[in-house]
Chains A and B, each alone.
Chain A
Amino acid sequence: MANSASLNLKTFHRGVHPDEFKSISCTIPSRVLPLPDEVFIPLQQHIGAPCEALVEKGDLVKTGQKIADTKAFVSSPIHASISGKVMAVAAFPHPLGGKVPMIHIKRVGDEDDWQHLVIPDQWESSSREILQKIVREAGIVGLGGAAFPTHVKMAPPKDKPIDHFILNGCECEPFLTCDHRDMLENTDKILQGMAIMMKLLDIEQGTIGIESNKADAIEMMETRVQALNLNFTVQSLKVKYPQGAEKMLIDAALGRKVPAGGLPMDIGVVVNNVATALAIYEAVVEGKPLIQRMLTVTGDAVENPGNIIARIGTPFQVCVDACGGLKGDTAQVFMGGPMMGLAQYDLKVPTLKGTSGIVCLEASQLKSTRHYPCIQCGSCVSVCPMNLVPTRISRLAETAKYDDCKDWGVFNCIECGSCAFVCPSGIPLVQWIRVGKVKITEKQNKLKARA
């Protein structure tokens, strides 16, 4: 296949159409946030083992210096994002809730003294082992939100041959536009980052999936793919939530279905986000570890919404203040979009590697959803992209019938929130499904411990 036709809109089955709110910030070019006075860098920002701090209180650190690491394979090191002095290694509020060990660094002076990674002159001619090491050392994780260590994804087991790489530029969450801006502003870097990942996986076929509401990004990608003489397919996809979910994207772009309970590599596919591709380019070609990322600060409660490039660990308050601050009647602040994001109780929490946006909503945006009993309307069933019966799983979890929850596929749920979005009774379906998952896991762990 040569370049794809833009009119050929592929997609997955079911799903929902929330209001997009992307026009608030999608046309605003990104700007670099001034260096923050202090950063709080959590020791765990990724899926996998947490890191151990390599620095102590009072140490001076450089930008890009590795400050935490672990020997575990499924993990990712952490780097200082500003040059300064370590004030504390202690528990601070975390955007995922509660207090988590973090390294608190206070900036010293105005310098931004970088410590770069050791990189080869030409990535094209260096070995896969070297590249993989750089990706790990740079602390790169999936920047779409889940923050899965990228070097793990780039090293699939031998019995899982990979033949296709998909670059995820869907950005289906309402409000978020950072991937969109990245694709417009760093097109070449992203494409080269993708090429690096494909070299790592030793594969030829690559597809870039973009929702059709980002026509300029699709056009830009298509032109640059041709100009750089790359053999990538740019696939425009129907605007539908959750198009950017890994399994939905693979189904839409390639027509392959990830087996229930399986991973994309089971069907020979690896998916990564555009921001991750950019981070890989910056690490491999520019020698910069992952210490900053673009994020969207938006919502009607923000005075000047926009896309900012912020150092990781910058408190939310600093990001929001850089965008004009919050209006008086701010009611909710989320890390991430309104569909899968996490509500925050405090703006002291720092941005993480996986923070793609800070969405702030006014009280008027909130609809008081009264809770009604389930009327069995079946709306949740008709939108579930994973083909589940959310109303049933939710009711089973509510009545503590966890074994039945499992039979009804509770672990297949990707928690996209489509079911609770359409529920006319305002039932927190996803919440109950999470309860079911947690309870089943607890029970299994208990059994394992006893055995």
Chain B
Amino acid sequence: MNDITPTQPEETPKPVKPAKPKRDPRAKLYKPEQPLILSSSPHFHAQDTVPKIMWGVILALVPTTVMALIYFQWAAAGIILSSVLAALVSEMIVNRLKGESFTIPDGSAAITGLLLALTLPPSFSIGGAVLGSVFAIMIGKHVFGGLGYNIFNPALLGRAFLQASFPVPMTTWAWPLTARYAEVDGITAATPLGVFKFEHITSELPGLLTGNISGSLGETSAIAILIGGLYLLIRKYADWRIPLSFLGSVFVVSGIFWMISPETYPTPVFQLFSGGLMLGAFFMATDMVTSPVTAKGAWIFGASAGFILVIIRLFGGLPEGVMYSILLMNAFTPLINRYTRPTFFGEIRA
């Protein structure tokens, strides 16, 4: 198309002015003698950073890890080391594939590897642990977009993958090498929850507290978990509402069943201290990325997870339900966040 339409009268073509070179808008600004750094307010920041939080969680897991090493010794060391290493290596591979800088220092991959290892049975194979860890990092975390974007807790997703793939090794338990049955019974033993589910025998509390029982690497000693969990709560690396509502709801719901029929159902105290509940309530459910951000949401999240857990334990086919209860609630987290918007300051809600 031409610039001049035929209807217009003839015009002498204007001499084309050379386009002015675009001026750098910054040239207008004053050139300060001393270059000062600009930033958007607030210019101050508190001390906490993502790596600090992540390494704090790892520190909180130290007592549990130490207990696992004491009870299950070389088996524990092998699984924990291989799982953590596999997590770190797969994180690096993903970083390379995505063309981003290495995210190992933020500590999140190490947590995933460690947490996964702590949920595995001591007799589990090292190869299986590596596989689970790789799945947790690559599928559980990075497929969703990496740190902060995953919907499910990666460690639990890794465990769910292993549970689905290797159901028998995942439910074959060994006595701790320090336990009194270790020599008598040989290698395999049922967990307290399994014993109850299939034989209706409740284990004694001292064993559940110290962890001198059969179970996954990191879930046997309630005391070690409580120490680490307390540290998390004090440092505010975990929302206290989640473990409180989770444990509280397990206690109340299982208590109701126990009161209805004490012969059929275990005591709420046994429910609290057996299986992976403590580890799950303090370290898995409180995973910041996959739990609600609002206070009301945290209560709903914990209480619902507790309810689901008791239902699975009492009526499901599996003796344990911590993993599924948390994963289920993870899926609900975006929804919970959306519908628990706090009431604004001064807002009058219709």
Contacts and interface: CB of A to CB of B under 8 A. Distances in A.
Contact of B30 (A260, A346, A361, A422): A346
Given A93-B30, A345-B38, A389-B341, A376 B148 contact: yes
Interface in B18-51: 28-30, 32, 34, 36-46, 48-50
Contacts of A114: none
Given A339-B44, A424-B49, A375 B36 contact: no
B289 interface: yes
B146 interface: yes
A387 B296 CA distance: 12
Most chain-B CB neighbours within 10 Å: which of A251, A326, A347? A347
Given A334-B43, A339-B44, 18 more contacts: A247-B345, A258-B346, A332-B43, A338-B41, A339-B42, A339-B43, A343-B37, A346-B30, A373-B146, A375-B50, A376-B290, A381-B293, A381-B294, A382-B295, A408-B341, A421-B46, A424-B53, A430-B42
B289 A375 contact: yes
A167 B291 CA distance: 42
Contact of A345 (B29, B149, B236, B347): B29
B342 interface: yes
A326 B34 CA distance: 10
Interface in B70-125: 106
Interface in A87-122: 93, 99
B348 interface: yes
A421 to B, nearest CB: 5
Nearest to B106: A372
Contact of A342 (B41, B49, B106, B292): B41
A42 interface: no
Contacts of A48: none
Nearest to B347: A260
B344 A260 contact: yes
Most chain-A CB neighbours within 10 Å: which of B30, B36, B52, B239? B36
Interface in A344-379: 344-348, 361, 366-367, 369-370, 372-379
B288 A376 contact: yes
Nearest to B38: A343
Contact of A348 (B30, B149, B341): B30
Given A343-B36, A345-B30, A373-B147, A417 B345 contact: no
Contacts of B298: 378
Nearest to A339: B42
Given A93-B30, A259-B346, A260-B344, A389 B42 contact: no
Nearest to A361: B43
Nearest to B297: A378
Q: Main SS of the interface on chain B?
A: loop
A386 interface: yes
A347 B106 contact: no
5 contacts: A332-B38, A343-B40, A347-B32, A381-B294, A408-B341
B36 A260 contact: no
A64 B294 CA distance: 53
A343 B346 contact: no
Given A259-B346, A343-B36, A425 B50 contact: yes
B293 A338 contact: no
Contacts of A369: 45, 49
B132 to A, nearest CB: 23
Interface in A254-308: 257-260, 262
B147 A430 contact: no
A378 B239 contact: yes
A338 B46 CA distance: 12
B345 A412 contact: yes
B163 interface: no
Contacts of A425: 49-50, 148
A260 B50 CA distance: 33
Nearest to A93: B30
A389 B293 contact: yes
Contacts of A345: 29-30, 32, 36, 38
Which 10 residue pairs across A and B have the least CB separation, nearest first? A417-B42, A373-B148, A378-B293, A372-B50, A377-B288, A260-B347, A338-B44, A431-B40, A424-B48, A257-B346
A424 B50 contact: yes
B345 A386 contact: yes
A210 to B, nearest CB: 22
B337 interface: yes
Given A341-B41, A386-B345, A420-B45, A377 B53 contact: yes
B345 A381 contact: no
Given A247-B346, A375-B147, A378-B239, A367 B50 contact: no
Given A259-B348, A343-B37, A348-B30, A426 B148 contact: no
A409 B236 CA distance: 26
A361 B239 CA distance: 34
A391 interface: yes
Contacts of A93: 29-30
Nearest to A349: B30
Given A260-B346, A387-B343, A430 B41 contact: yes
A370 B49 contact: yes
B345 A376 contact: no
A93 B294 CA distance: 43
A192 B346 CA distance: 32
A428 interface: yes
B40 A428 contact: yes
Interface in B305-349: 337, 341-348
A339 B346 contact: no
A341 B41 CA distance: 6
A74 interface: no
A16 interface: yes
Contacts of B342: 381, 387-389
A409 B341 CA distance: 10
Contacts of B49: 369-370, 372, 424-426
Contacts of A348: 30
Contacts of B106: 372
Contacts of A330: 34, 36
A373 B101 CA distance: 13
A340 B36 CA distance: 18
